[in-house]
Structure 1
Amino acid sequence: MLNLNWLQTYVTLVETGHFTHTADKLAMTQPGVSQHIKKLEQHFGQPLLIREGKRFDLTQSGRDVYQQAQRTLAELSGLEQQLSTDDPFNGPVRFASPGSLGLKLYPELLALQQQHPSLSIDYTFAPNEGVERDLVARKLDIGLITRPGDKSDLAYRPFAEEPLFLVTPAHIDAPDWATLMALGYIDHPDGAHHAGMLLGSNFEQYQQLSQLPKRGFCNHISMILEPVSRGLGFTVLPRYAVAAFPRPDEIAVHTLPQPVSESIYLVQRRHQPLPTRIRFLIEAITPMLSE
């Protein structure tokens, strides 16, 4: 493995042009400087210096190593400075979640950004698979998903829960199975999953979504309740999607005898240290999802 101390000694030698001056600058002995250069030449398997008495010149390999060593040491120095000044209120945060969670979190994160304008919130509404894919591709810093995951590159931990609700047009008071059959279902991308969880736990007649007449489909989280509000059917949605609907008097939200919640998992790349600003964001959203 390449020793960074050898590189630092070599760069200093090239820039001072003198073994003694290099030793003084690095608080080393002159034989110690010579030993570092020898180790570096052995590592690359070719000479880096052309020695002429007390003077030296660089071989072509020596010039290549010097240029790369300068870049490498500068990048490491910049990284050290960045880490030493890691500001919890400064820098970009790339975050993603399924739609219902986004409806809850994004406005509150914008309020957080107003308090700390140097934070840059990059929020993506994405399905579970999309969140995982973008984390693996390093397009995200953290994400939330609503099921356990199995990607070996990612670490998952339980984070919160979001209740599911049966939502009907406003005139429905206490829906029974016959009422649901008459209304029909407004489907959405997670419609079968959510219906299976909530209806399957509360109606013995329920086996699969295809039993219910399908009255429509919408893939936009903020619009799924629009057909419900117009009396065209019912649906099952997570809490925050229901809470975001702008005309709550046009729908009826029903709590069933067997409450069901969807688990939420925090996801990040495995063994990836999180900057302070990301840890700050995680701490900030924790109480948002427990209100």
Structure 2
Amino acid sequence: MINTLWLRTFCTLAEIKHFTRTAEALHMTQSGVSQHIQKLEEQLETQLLQRERPKFTLTEAGQRLYHEGQRILTSLSNLNYLVTDDPSDAGCIRMLSPGSVGLRLYPQLLALQQQYPKLHLDYRFAPNSAIEQALTDAHAELALMSAKPRLAEIHYEAIASEALLLVTPAAITTPTWQTLLDLGFIDHPDGQHYADALLSANYPEFQHSAQFRKNGFSNQIALLLQPVSMGLGFTVLPAYAVSAFSEPCRIRAHHLANPIEQQLYLCSHQQKVLPNRYHTVITRIKQALYDTSP
């Protein structure tokens, strides 16, 4: 393997074309420059300079080494920059969250990207179980979860909470247990998790979500309330998702006697150090969620 110190000396000499001035540029002695060139020739077993004292010219091998050496030295310099440079306002952000909080955060993070155009946002909606696995498999660096992570390798911090709401068609003013049985359940990836939390605290008859006839399922948070608005069933959703529905007059969100708020956890992998750009995003996330109005 070529010694990069010798290679740098050779390329500088080939560019300056003078031993004394090369020594001055590299803060070396002239004999030190000569030794580097000699060692490089010995290692490569070829002549690099045609010496015509006090001048010299590059041999054909020397010309090739100079052009390739410059490319290598430039790459090494760029590598050092890439490894050590860690800007707070540039680079790709890969993150996940449940759809509800995503509906609130995504516009905020797009505004952040407008502020810092070199930030690139890769934001995906997913249920809690998929989010935890994505962090473990390094498919994302940052996530929000509405359930406490189960895996030991996930670092988490509770940063906010959002209310769970029972949502029915607008005509339902008093959602009795029988009313819910008659309506049927519109399910979604976190439907069982949300229903267990809210309904068990407010209906003594509730045991599990399978007690309800399933009248539909959607994994698209923006479409989930459409069947509810058409009278096809009820569902349980966080407040952020309910407030984002485009036809609020066609649904009714019920604040039950025993309100339930779910924690939102900011999550990352325990063994990974997040680059500075992620801390910029985390600051914006906390600002957005501390303003609790949906």
Q: Is the 8 A contact 2:170 2:251 kept in 1?
A: yes
TM-score between both structures, scaled by the size of structure 2: 0.74
Counterpart for residue 248 of structure 1: 248
The 1-side partners of 2:133 and 2:27 are apart by 50
Counterpart for residue 144 of structure 1: 144
Q: Which amino acid aligns with 1:78?
A: Y
**Relative to 1, partners in 2 of residues 1:240 and 1:52: Cα closer, same or farther, differing over 3 Å?**
closer
Counterpart for residue 224 of structure 2: 224
Measure how far apart 1:245 and its partner are: 0.8
Counterpart for residue 170 of structure 1: 170
SS at match of 2:108: helix
Q: Which amino acid aligns with 1:159?
A: I
Q: Does 1:74 align with 2:71?
A: no
Measure how far apart 1:100 and its partner are: 1.1
SS at match of 1:249: helix
Q: Is the 8 A contact 1:13 1:19 kept in 2?
A: no
Gaps of 5+ in 1: 41-45
- What are the equivalent positions in structure 2 for 1:271-290 lying under 5 Å apart? 271-276=272-277, 278-290=278-290
| Deviating more after overlay: 245-254 vs 130-139 | 130-139
SS at match of 2:200: helix
Q: Does 1:11 align with 2:8?
A: yes
TM-score between both structures, scaled by the size of structure 1: 0.74
Measure how far apart 1:200 and its partner are: 1.7
Counterpart for residue 266 of structure 2: 266
Q: Is the 8 A contact 1:142 1:267 kept in 2?
A: yes
**Relative to 1, partners in 2 of residues 1:87 and 1:209: Cα closer, same or farther, differing over 3 Å?**
closer
Measure how far apart 1:288 and its partner are: 1.4
The 2-side partners of 1:288 and 1:146 are apart by 16
Counterpart for residue 197 of structure 2: 197
Q: Is the 8 A contact 1:162 1:261 kept in 2?
A: yes
The 1-side partners of 2:287 and 2:174 are apart by 32
Counterpart for residue 43 of structure 1: none
**Relative to 1, partners in 2 of residues 1:53 and 1:182: Cα closer, same or farther, differing over 3 Å?**
closer
Measure how far apart 1:286 and its partner are: 0.9
Q: CA deviation digits over 1:100-147, x for unaligned, max 9?
A: 122111123233334444543332223334444554565544222223
Q: Does 1:234 align with 2:234?
A: yes
When the two structures are aligned, how many residues end up with a matched partner?
A: 276
Measure how far apart 1:215 and its partner are: 2.1
**Relative to 1, partners in 2 of residues 1:20 and 1:145: Cα closer, same or farther, differing over 3 Å?**
farther
- What are the equivalent positions in structure 2 for 1:62-101 lying under 5 Å apart? 70=73, 72-79=75-82, 82-83=85-86, 86=87, 88=89, 90-101=90-101
The 2-side partners of 1:28 and 1:156 are apart by 53
**Relative to 1, partners in 2 of residues 1:267 and 1:30: Cα closer, same or farther, differing over 3 Å?**
farther
Identity %: 42
Measure how far apart 1:228 and its partner are: 1.3
The 1-side partners of 2:84 and 2:12 are apart by 23
Q: Which amino acid aligns with 1:7?
A: T
Counterpart for residue 112 of structure 1: 112
Q: Which amino acid aligns with 1:250?
A: R
The 1-side partners of 2:253 and 2:241 are apart by 12
Gaps of 5+ in 2: 52-57
The 1-side partners of 2:248 and 2:183 are apart by 19
Larger Rg: 2
The 2-side partners of 1:220 and 1:80 are apart by 39
Measure how far apart 1:232 and its partner are: 1.9
Measure how far apart 1:186 and its partner are: 1.2
SS at match of 1:110: helix
Measure how far apart 1:162 and its partner are: 2.3
**Relative to 1, partners in 2 of residues 1:239 and 1:31: Cα closer, same or farther, differing over 3 Å?**
farther
**Relative to 1, partners in 2 of residues 1:243 and 1:68: Cα closer, same or farther, differing over 3 Å?**
same
- Cα RMSD after superposing both structures: 3.9
**Relative to 1, partners in 2 of residues 1:47 and 1:222: Cα closer, same or farther, differing over 3 Å?**
same
